[in-house]
Chain A
């Protein structure tokens, strides 16, 4: 933006130094992209940010930020964070085991490529169809639920399970979390060099020692980074949760959705603060992911 004012100012008084002109020329080519991003990405986010710090008359206030720390909103954040954490941890571990089995487990390569392709599909199969597929399977009258009850006499819902609850949501989210973990951790597993293992064995290390002193330290940044990515991935989920629980579970995204439909918080500005709070959490999450990924890439260079 400052370049434009330079052009205006310099046109009237003194000729621009040549490198200036070159710089603004360089920016000119990306201007359409920048304008589009400003209008449909920057402006909406910025407006929410400003709105979060205003009262209904537009004066500056911190009341909305304090308002985020009321029990109902804190609990929404807390439930969202817990679900994201649970799915990141479980999805991360299981995804790691699956990726390990595929990359280093000695299975035929067609199994590996088939499952990698499927992971690409499954990590994009989310939202309403995913939630419905689980309802038809494990919902109150889902086929698996009925099958277990009629034929094996196990009544899941009598035992306290409910698909429309925390754990039900977790099981459902894993459907896109697990394959995503497989996709992002595979390069790290492929980066584990055979030579390291051989060197460790020649020096007399047991497999346990190899993993403890070499494998896990090398993989740690990727593992952590991938799980953080998974955390962010489920933190912003809306469609899956809404269609699974009908909006009954108190997630931040669900709360924002109700706020858009009809000001359930009775304070539009609190809604903006709520939305911007999500962006802050996501920003911290994704920054951590990129830092860790950069660290892990050191080992992956061939």
Chain B
């Protein structure tokens, strides 16, 4: 048993070193803008750069629109399937898991091919391109969102709740917003924060559709040209991810975070 414990600590400490050394050294790097002393100048420069604020706001907006569209699409669908059409549940589940099979780079390739001409030339306008970006993120978020919402609805008895509400005279709007959605709070919050964590730093889709306007490509650009500010941005970006994931834990369940494929 003693030997067992030593091995456990060995693996844990080894992993902690591997996980934290790059972060700590990146932080140290970001403090070295001035030759002979530690300073936070690189951070000051990052925050003063207008591109930083602009791209951060842009990505946040895209993230928020993504969440609303995803929820508007997924909650009624999962609810409907559970209530009226349990037989087509496997179909919805299958479609929701498909994005795991299609790498982001392939998805954006296909989206550009379909929507840069033809019947729906979305990439011709800024609004259209932004919408395409949102659509791509909604699709990338399908697996997480589906699992989160489906698990949330599984935990409450949707059919009974609906019938109870109906017998009390509630209409569909009331049922949705005052019965179903409040009961899904935990699932919705964890899906929301995970989506935000993924969208905020996403690079692959963003770089081909909107480029430096969004945070991921902006971060990349800064790192190509200005190493110290780049390292400061890396730390900021890690803190953003950390904050959202921390919020998920705070909300109560790590559901949805347990599978593949964020912005690799």
Contact = CB atoms under 8 A, between A and B. Distances in A.
Interface stretch (B47-55, B57-65, B74-82, B155-163): B74-82
Contacts of B113: 44, 47-48, 51, 272
A238 B84 contact: no
Interface of B is mostly: helix
Interface string B73-101: 11011001100110110001001011111
Interface string A78-97: 00000000000000001001
Contact of B261 (A142, A236, A242, A278): A236
Interface in B235-264: 237-238, 241-242, 245-246, 248-249, 254, 257-264
Given A32-B73, A44-B110, A106-B4, A136 B203 contact: no
Interface size class of B (residues with CB under 8 A): 35 or more
Interface residues of A, number: 86
Interface in A45-75: 45, 47-48, 51
B11 A98 contact: yes
B188 interface: no
Nearest to A284: B101
Contacts of B92: 30, 33
Interface stretch (B16-24, B33-41, B178-186): B16-24
Contacts of A125: 238, 241
A292 interface: no
Contacts of B174: none
Given A29-B85, A239-B204, A48 B110 contact: yes
Interface of B: 1, 4-5, 7-12, 15, 18-19, 21-23, 25-26, 28-29, 73-74, 76-77, 80-81, 84-85, 87-88, 92, 95, 97-114, 132, 135-136, 138-139, 142, 194, 197-198, 201-204, 208, 216, 219-220, 223, 227, 230-231, 233-234, 237-238, 241-242, 245-246, 248-249, 254, 257-264
